Amino acid sequence: MATDASLLEVEALGCRRGGVWLFAGVQFAVAAGDLLEISGPNGVGKSSLLRILAGIAPPSQGQVRAHVRTAYSGHEPALKPRRSVHAELDYWAGLYASGRAVTDALQRFGLDDLAFLECRLLSNGQRRRVALARCWLADARLWLLDEPLVGLDTAGRDALMAAVMAHLAAGGAAVVVSHQPLDAPHRRLVLAA
């Protein structure tokens, strides 16, 4: 149930894709400090739900009310291949105009040594760190992360979860689609087929 502290409210949400109802009647709220995992079998509509929450795709029914800025990171971090990491973050910092500095983002996410490497040359774990740095640059209270742990080794998973936990501790919240267990206290929304 939504409260005054809700960052996001979802009411009676339904999603129909390709003539098929993926889900209907989805209802939840997200408050500061919440980590909400969305889980369920392949193809049930988890990524579709996250895209609706991000405002990238329309719902078929119901409502999403975001009361704060959101930052979305898709299943495959979309980075311009020929841009350097620094240039990529600089581009997004200009769009977000949040006042957060690229140099801080590079330092926080361990990207200093990669700053002038083209994004096409990054490893999977490094790409995911850049994607998270981009979320941080947006200064968004709510992060929407699609499969952020895929392909990460233990150190990469620990670093990513530490960044998410720091975000929660600073009054943020995160909704995470994941097939892998989140190594932190969280609520779970299971989409059933």
Ligand X SMILES: Nc1ncnc2c1ncn2[C@@H]1O[C@H](COP(=O)(O)OP(=O)(O)OP(=O)(O)O)[C@@H](O)[C@H]1O
Nearest distance in Å: CB 169, ligand X: 28
Handedness of CA 21, 22, 26, 28 (dihedral sign): negative
Backbone torsion region of residue 11, taken as left when φ is above 0, otherwise alpha when ψ lies between -120 and 50, otherwise beta: beta
Q: Which is nearer to ligand X, 47 or 61 (CB)?
A: 47
Residues near ligand X (CB under 6 A) are 17-18, 22, 40, 42-48
- Closest-CA residue to 147 (of 37, 17, 18): 37
Q: Which is nearer to ligand X, 17 or 69 (CB)?
A: 17
Nearest distance in Å: CB 18, ligand X: 3
Q: 């774990």: which residue's tokens?
A: 125
Q: Which is nearer to ligand X, 3 or 42 (CB)?
A: 42
Nearest distance in Å: CB 61, ligand X: 16
What's the one-letter identity of residue 109? Answer: F
- Asked if 33 and 168 count as a contact pair (C-beta separation under 8 A), the reply is yes
Nearest distance in Å: CB 43, ligand X: 4
Q: Which is nearer to ligand X, 58 or 99 (CB)?
A: 58
